[in-house]
């Protein structure tokens, strides 16, 4: 083990030489003797000893405590005071400099050795602590940089997800203006974080029909965002095929691909989805459901809002089973009515007493506003849910899509 290096600062040369001899006899390395403040600072800067043995009163009545304080502040070398002074005032002043020891002359060799060993041990502990702090600073800086990179990537992912959503909706029939369109669409998309597991799309499937697809991928993290991107690509791919007019066929084809991909993962991944086609020529809605909350059909004539699929005959979530065929079903639609599609984030909200807003309360709230346009229903519904939750943020992604039927036939 390397010898500890000690510098003696003492203006009485005989005392200094005796102390030097005792230290060398104990196996320590003495870096020299300084008899004044100027020389002490110079030698400490050059030698960088492990410890300084400091006389409290130096040549010319210079305050050794002040010198020790300056050495510690400028050069980070601690001191042990060696002095005949032990009055209360001196001790209090010395303590302010946080010395590593205080030896009162005369002292025995055992006292000197014990004080030095304790001081050197503390010095080593301080060095380790300083190094650990430096290492922590490096790690913290690296983590901060990585977090900044991650935040940037998440912002980009968020912008890409928003970019995947339709910015304009199709007009039906083809060639009609927005004001002349037989179907009019509204949407609200509120991710709970920077990235979302919710996705929707509205597409033209014929001159007189439009398809509305909505899905909710389990979770709202990076993996959920990747799955939503995959589903979007699959919807685009299958929507150009002839079976786009068959909602059950579309969900069946998407499920086959997802199930094949997901079976390679140990974690369970799935997505709920609902796809409907509204055809103004036949005044009918065809649809298929993959374990998704049923959209609501708003009948303005009856003043009622009811689930499009009131029974439990819906298929399982996408990606769970490979050999599933989703069934298409049909129901009539009428001019003046509308359809509201949504993900479960709108009703799986809890109040301060942990009571859930619930799907039943959602249906009731929509019924109370059934005569309003979808945009007004959406804004009032969101306000109603937030009031229920006492202003707390939505814990899950929220997606609302409305379709107004302006005319049929």
Q: Which of 43-57, 178-192, 264-278, 325-339 has the lowest mean pLDDT?
A: 264-278
Beta pairing class for 284-290 and 271-279: antiparallel
What is this structure's pTM? Answer: 0.67
* Greatest mean pLDDT among 196-205, 285-294, 312-321: 285-294
| pLDDT on residue 290 | 95
Strand ordering across the sheet containing 304-307: 183-190, 398-405, 338-342, 296-299, 304-307
pLDDT in tens, 207-232: 999 999 998 988 666 677 778 788 88
Residue count of the chain, please give it: 409
Q: How far apart are CA 321 and CA 358, in angstroms?
A: 28
pLDDT in tens, 227-261: 878 888 888 887 766 556 799 999 999 999 988 88
Q: How far apart are CA 43 and CA 33, in angstroms?
A: 9
Q: What percent of the chain is predicted at pLDDT more than 70?
A: 93
CB atoms < 10 A from the CB of 105, how many?
A: 12
| pLDDT on residue 322 | 87
CB 294 within 8 A of CB 274: yes
| pLDDT on residue 219 | 66
166-405 — its CATH code? 3.60.40.10
pLDDT in tens, 89-131: 888 888 887 888 888 888 888 998 999 999 889 988 988 988 9
202 forms bridges with which residues in the sheet? 212
Q: Using the predicted structure, report yes or no on whether residue 358 has a pLDDT greater than 60.
A: yes
CB 401 within 8 A of CB 214: yes
Q: How far apart are CA 408 and CA 259, in angstroms?
A: 38
Q: How sure is the predictor about 195, in pLDDT bands with cuts at 50, 70 and 90?
A: low
Fold of 5-133: Rossmann fold (3.40.50)
CB 77 within 8 A of CB 44: yes
| pLDDT on residue 223 | 74
Q: How far apart are CA 55 and CA 244, in angstroms?
A: 93
Mutual angle of helices 222-239 and 109-164, in 10-degree steps: 20
Print the SS3 string covering 197-260. CEEEEEEEEECCEEEEEEEEECCCCHHHHHHHHHHHHHHHHHHCCHHHHCHHHHHHHHHHHHHH
The domain segmentation of the chain, as residue ranges, is: 5-133, 166-405
| Tokens linked to 250 | 């579309």
| pLDDT on residue 230 | 83
Q: What is the mean pLDDT of residues 361-390?
A: 93
pLDDT in tens, 270-298: 889 999 999 999 999 999 999 999 999 99
pLDDT in tens, 128-162: 988 998 988 888 888 888 877 767 766 766 676 66
CB atoms < 10 A from the CB of 150, how many?
A: 12
Q: How far apart are CA 62 and CA 57, in angstroms?
A: 6
CB atoms < 10 A from the CB of 370, how many?
A: 18
Query: Hey, do 5-133 and 166-405 end up sharing a CATH topology, with the first three levels equal?
Result: no
């Amino acid at each position: 083990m390397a010898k500890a290096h000690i510098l003696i600062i003492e203006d009485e040369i005989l005392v200094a030489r005796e102390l030097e001899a005792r230290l060398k006899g104990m196996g320590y390395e003495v870096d020299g003797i300084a008899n004044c403040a100027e020389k002490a600072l110079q030698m400490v800067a050059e030698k960088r000893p492990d410890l300084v043995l400091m006389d409290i009163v130096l040549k010319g009545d210079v305050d050794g405590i002040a010198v020790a304080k300056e050495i510690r502040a400028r050069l980070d070398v601690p001191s042990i005071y060696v002095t005949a002074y032990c009055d209360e005032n001196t001790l209090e002043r010395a303590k302010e400099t946080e010395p590593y020891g205080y030896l009162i002359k005369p002292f025995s060799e055992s006292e000197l050795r014990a004080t030095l060993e304790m001081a050197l041990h503390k010095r080593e502990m301080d060095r380790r602590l300083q190094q650990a702090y430096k290492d922590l600073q490096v790690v913290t800086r690296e983590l901060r940089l990585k977090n900044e990179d991650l935040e940037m990537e998440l912002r980009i992912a968020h912008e890409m997800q928003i970019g995947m959503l339709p910015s304009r909706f199709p007009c039906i029939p083809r060639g009609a203006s927005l004001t002349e369109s037989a179907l009019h669409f509204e949407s609200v998309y509120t991710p709970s974080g920077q990235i979302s597991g919710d996705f929707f799309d509205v597409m033209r499937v014929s001159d007189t029909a439009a398809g509305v697809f909505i899905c909710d991928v389990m979770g709202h993290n990076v993996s959920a965002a990747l799955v939503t991107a995959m589903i979007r690509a699959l919807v685009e791919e299958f929507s150009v095929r002839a079976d786009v007019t068959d909602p059950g066929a579309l969900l069946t084809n998407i499920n086959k691909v997802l199930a094949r991909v997901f079976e390679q993962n140990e974690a369970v991944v799935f997505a709920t989805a609902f796809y409907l086609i509204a055809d103004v020529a036949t005044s009918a809605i065809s649809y298929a459901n993959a374990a998704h909350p049923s959209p609501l059909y708003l009948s303005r004539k009856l003043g009622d809002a009811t689930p499009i699929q009131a029974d439990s005959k819906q298929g399982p979530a996408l990606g769970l089973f490979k050999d599933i065929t989703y069934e298409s079903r049909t129901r009539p639609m009428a001019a003046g009515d509308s359809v509201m599609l949504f993900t479960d984030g709108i009703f799986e909200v809890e109040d301060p007493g942990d009571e859930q807003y619930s799907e039943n309360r959602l249906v009731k709230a929509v019924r109370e506003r059934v005569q309003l346009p979808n945009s007004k229903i959406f804004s009032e519904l969101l306000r109603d849910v937030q009031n229920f939750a006492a202003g707390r943020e939505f814990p899950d992604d929220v997606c609302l899509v409305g379709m107004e039927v302006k005319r049929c036939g």
